[in-house]
Structure formats: C-alpha cells, structure tokens
C-alpha cells in the first residue's frame, strides 16, 4: 500500500465516513464527514480530498484534505452515517439524533431534522429527564435506526416527526452498535457480548434470535455485515478479538481471531471487495485483513515493516459440509489450510484510532491524536 497522509485538525476525531458515490458512477470517493468528541466544542465537518502529495513547509508530505464546512454539534459525536448524498445523521452523547443537510452551492451545513430525546433513562434511580447517549445509527433510505445506552431501539423515517417504532426495553444492557441484515431485520451488539436480531415486521419487544460467546461476557463495540452474504457478520469488542459469525448456524462465532491489544472500536468489510476487512483499536493500530484465496500459500505472519509476530486463530464449527465455492472466505478460515494476511496501515502507533471507513481504493480514519489519516491507494 502506498503512503497514508495525516492531517492534524486540532480536535479528537470520533467518527469518519466517506460520502457514498452515486450508484453506477465511476468516480472514486472524494468527500468524507468527520465528527469530534471530548473537545470543549464538538463539530460535524465535511472534507474534500484534493490532489495528494503536496510538500508542506517542512519538506514532508501532508495530506491535502481540505475542510469544506463544519457545524457545531451538541455533545460528543457517537456515530455518524450518510443518509444520502446530501444528508448526514449524527448520534449524540446527549441522546439526540440530528440530520444535517449539506448545501454544496455555498458549502454550509444546516440542521434539517432533529429528534432531541431519542434516548433517555427512565425508572428508579434515573433523573426524570436523564438523557442517555445514542451509541449507534444505521441508515437505509428512508429509514434510520438508532440504539443507545438506554437499551432502546428507535426506527425513524426521514421527514417524520415521531419515531415510527420504538422497542423500549430491547436490552437491559447498553446497546453499542447496529447494522441492517435485510431491510426489515437489524442486528445489535451489546455490553454483555450478545448479538441480537430484530425483525420490525414482528410486534413485541423480543429479538428473533440471540447469539453470544459462551463464558466471558466481553462487551462488543462494533459490528459489520458482509456486503454480499447477509448472514455473515464481523464483530469486535473490549478484548480486541475479531469474531466472524454465521447467523444461520448455531449461536456461537464461526471464527475467533486474535487481534488488537485493546478495545476494537470499528470493523468494516470492504464494500466491493469483501475478502478484505479493516479494524481499528484503542491500542493505536489500524489493520487490513486479507482473506482473499487467490494469494498462494500466504504466511500467517503479521507484516509490519518487516517485523513479524505470529497470528492465532481457531475455527469453532466444522464447515466441511458446505460447498466450498459458495462459502465466504471468512467462514472457511481453517488455520491449517487458509491463512489471513494482516497489514498494519499506520506508520507508527498513535493514540486510539476511533473510526475508519473504506470505499473503493480509499480509506479514512480518525484518532485521539487529533489527526485524520487518508490513503487513496489501498490495493496498489
């Protein structure tokens, strides 16, 4: 992979997301949104990636990501998702969910819609109007699903003032992240190591399926669904492990892969090249996992500037009965036969890498060291 460029932005970055490319368009990603946290004033901002490789005043290369516009955000930005080309949905530590609208003609952001009390604590011991952080949001136009520390799931529709559906006591613990499996079905991960599948076609507050790691109830922080195989999901949590799940089979992960030394904050399958997966961690690392089968006899060593460290994995369920050509490379990782190559993408360890996003050949990530890193040459 070619150079990855850093831009120092004077605020801790909690979330980074590429603006989606119009369907059928040949253009590559050129604009991303970022959200900040733990600053005196937090912002949602839009950035453009211009021509790369400009020499800075010290003679070093600096990423030429230009700030297009930004807007104040009340509370920490806990999650950030593009709803469409113009609208961005932000989840706040105040429990509020805001839709920001980008005006490209004068490069400004404005509030287009807001659900101020989407998440809140109720019951004994909680203040009468105690807000609860909204921890995750996922969009599938026209729907927006949010989850929070209050264990509540909301289904909103753009341009509707009230929630279309709310599952009040979906979870007795904190919900940390959410993704769509299929349009009426979502999957959540929580602070006691459970994955739960919810079907909005069903009434009631019960999940249609629960999966979990046996034994330790390690909090799960992130989840992503395989873009082509909706039954395959990846999760990461407090122990830094990467877990691959097949929601059709049993209630336990198919593979557990030893990964980061601290919390894994995000995991993303590459949207158009899903044999590649990306993770980032509190330990300051950003990893590219390559499970593509066309690489002959990969070494299962961890590549980082010539240094190697061994890579451990074990497959829990035997997949021999499934036709191999139909199976995702992530479900067939028998460490004796298949090897996954892991590459560290950041030149040196930094403070926590909180967020990443990949689109085409481009990757962006945001860190607590107040830097945003971008590369346009993931697979070169």
Asked if 134 contacts 156 with a C-beta cutoff of 8 angstroms, the reply is: no
CATH of 3-292+346-373, one of 2.60.120.10, 1.20.210.10, 2.130.10.10, 1.20.1560.10: 2.130.10.10
In Å, what is the CA distance from 353 to each residue of 31, 149, 302? 20, 22, 19
Which residue in the block uniquely carries the two structure tokens 């190591």? 193
Please report, in tens digits, the pLDDT of each residue of the chain (380 residues total): 558 889 999 999 999 999 999 888 888 899 999 999 999 999 999 999 965 444 444 444 455 789 999 999 999 999 999 999 999 999 999 999 999 999 999 999 999 999 999 999 987 665 556 899 999 999 999 999 999 999 999 999 998 999 999 999 899 999 999 999 988 899 999 999 999 999 999 988 999 999 998 777 899 999 999 999 999 999 999 999 999 999 998 788 998 999 999 999 999 999 999 999 999 999 999 999 999 865 444 443 344 333 333 344 433 333 333 334 345 788 875 554 457 899 999 988 889 999 999 999 999 999 999 999 999 988 87
Instruction: Please give the model's pTM, rounded to 2 decimal places.
Output: 0.88
Using DSSP, state whether 325 is helix, strand or coil: helix
Which residue in the block uniquely carries the two structure tokens 């021999």? 320
Select from 299, 195, 180, 286 the least CA-distant residue to 243: 195
Phi, psi of 125 (to 5 degrees): 85, -10
Give residue limits of the domains in the chain.
Answer: 3-292+346-373
């Amino acid at each position: 992979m070619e150079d990855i460029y850093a831009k120092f932005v004077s605020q801790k970055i909690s979330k980074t997301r590429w603006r989606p490319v119009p369907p059928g368009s040949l253009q590559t990603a050129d604009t991303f949104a970022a959200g900040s946290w733990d600053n005196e004033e937090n912002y949602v901002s839009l950035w453009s990636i211009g021509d790369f490789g400009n020499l800075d005043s010290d003679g070093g290369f600096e990423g030429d990501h230009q700030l297009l516009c930004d807007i104040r955000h009340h509370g920490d930005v806990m999650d950030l998702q593009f709803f469409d080309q113009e609208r961005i949905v932000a989840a706040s530590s105040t429990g509020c969910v805001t839709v920001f609208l980008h005006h490209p003609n004068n490069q400004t952001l404005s509030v287009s819609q807001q659900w101020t009390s989407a998440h809140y604590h109720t019951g004994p011991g909680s203040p009468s109007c105690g807000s609860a952080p909204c921890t995750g949001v996922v969009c599938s136009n026209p729907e927006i699903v949010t989850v929070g520390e209050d264990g509540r799931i909301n289904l909103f529709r753009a341009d509707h003032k009230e929630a279309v559906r709310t599952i009040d006591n979906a979870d007795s613990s904190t919900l940390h992240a959410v993704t769509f499996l299929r349009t009426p079905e979502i999957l959540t991960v929580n602070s006691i190591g459970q994955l739960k599948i919810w079907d909005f076609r069903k009434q009631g507050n019960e999940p249609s399926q629960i999966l979990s790691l046996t034994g330790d109830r390690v909090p799960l922080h992130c989840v992503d669904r395989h873009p082509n195989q909706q039954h395959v999901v990846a999760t990461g949590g407090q122990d830094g492990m990467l877990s691959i799940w097949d929601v059709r089979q049993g209630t336990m992960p198919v593979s557990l892969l030893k990964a980061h030394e601290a919390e894994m904050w995000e995991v993303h399958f590459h949207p158009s090249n899903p044999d590649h997966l990306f993770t980032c961690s509190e330990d300051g690392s950003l990893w590219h996992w390559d499970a593509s089968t066309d690489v002959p006899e990969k070494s299962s060593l961890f590549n980082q500037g010539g240094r190697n460290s061994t890579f451990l994995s074990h497959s829990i369920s035997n997949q021999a009965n499934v036709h191999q050509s139909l199976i995702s490379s992530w479900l067939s990782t028998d460490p004796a036969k298949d090897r996954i190559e892991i590459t560290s993408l950041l030149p040196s360890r930094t403070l926590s890498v909180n967020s990443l996003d990949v689109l085409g050949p481009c990757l962006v990530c945001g860190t607590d060291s107040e830097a945003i890193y971008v590369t346009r040459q993931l697979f070169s």
